[in-house]
Amino acid sequence: MWELVLGLPWLLLSLWCYHKQWWLAGLVCSFYLFLTGLRQSHNAQHYALGLPRWVQDCVLFGLSVLMLASMHAVQTTHLHHHRHCLEEEDGEGATAKLSWWRAVLTGPLFITGLHFSAWRLAGRSKRCWIAVELGAVTLIVTALICSAGWNALRWHAAAMLAGECLTGFFAVWTVHHGCGPGEPGRTQRGRWINLVSYSMFFHAEHHLFPAVPTAHLPELARRLDAAESKVSRRPVLSLKYGLSNQKQGEVATT
């Protein structure tokens, strides 16, 4: 239940801030709404929410409407990414091979290409979900464009679309840059960084054990550290240097 309502306070706060015309505060709340939405979607994509599969498919649909992209499309390419991590056919992971600024600039192309790739990879059932979700997103965006008022919802929609365009950088590049094919990615230690990032930087742990829900990844990280694993040698962020540099990516992961 906690996992399902993670984004609700941020949604209400962002809409309230936009209604009050506190644009900067609203954007901060929208950032955390998008971050918690990514966490919820990520767990539902792996069917790791502890709910029946059909309920988690409905969660993905609801998040698609909220975040204005097909989460079943993201699921399709993400599971393909797990099977072919950073290999030639890994469309999702291709962003990690770019420089950081190219990953940012190509963001709109990334999210668009992801939907096309998902349609090509998906079976009939997933294609139905993708079509329904994209149809719902189209109706919502059209209604917001054509209607008068609803400025708070328009700001929300703009923030979500911007978030989708930055997904290639924040959700892929940050956790995979400098890594090679088959490597699980980067991770993060540090209580406060993981607190403000909602534990989304335990990415190496997630790749090693994708069935483990995000809520349990900190415990998994502690167990890996106790087993003297070298996963923590690849930090996503470094307090000393900011974004971890390329040399840190050269350390072998076991």
Q: Which residue has the higher pLDDT, 240 or 203?
A: 203
- Give the helix/strand (H/E) hosting 172: none
Q: What 3-state DSSP class applies to 217? A: helix
Rounded Cα distance between 172 and 165, Å, is: 12
50-86 pLDDT tens trace = 999 999 999 999 999 999 999 999 999 999 999 999 9
User: Mutual orientation of helices 53-67 and 151-165 as an angle, nearest 10°?
Assistant: 110
Report CA 186 to chain centroid distance, whole Å.
15
With contact defined as beta carbons under 8 Å apart, do 29 and 152 qualify? no
22-37 pLDDT tens trace = 999 999 999 999 999 9
pLDDT of residue 41: 97
With contact defined as beta carbons under 8 Å apart, do 48 and 39 qualify? no
One-letter amino acid of 50: G
pLDDT band at 254 (very low <50, low <70, confident <90, very high): very low
pLDDT band at 231 (very low <50, low <70, confident <90, very high): confident
- The secondary structure of 12-65 as a DSSP string is HHHHHHHHTT-HHHHHHHHHHHHHHHHHHHHHHHTT-SSS-HHHHHHHHHHHHH
135-181 pLDDT tens trace = 999 999 999 999 878 899 999 999 999 999 999 999 999 999 999 99
**CA quadruple 47, 51, 56, 59: dihedral sign:** negative
Burial 63-89, CB ≥16 within 10 A → b, else e: bbebbbbbbbbbbbbbebbbeebbeee
pTM of the model: 0.91
Segments making up each domain of the chain, as ranges: 3-177, 180-254
Q: Could you tell me the maximum CA-CA distance found in the chain, to the nearest angstrom?
A: 59
149-158 pLDDT tens trace = 889 999 999 9
pLDDT band at 99 (very low <50, low <70, confident <90, very high): very high
Rounded Cα distance between 99 and 110, Å, is: 14
**CA quadruple 114, 45, 162, 19: dihedral sign:** positive
Rounded Cα distance between 85 and 116, Å, is: 19
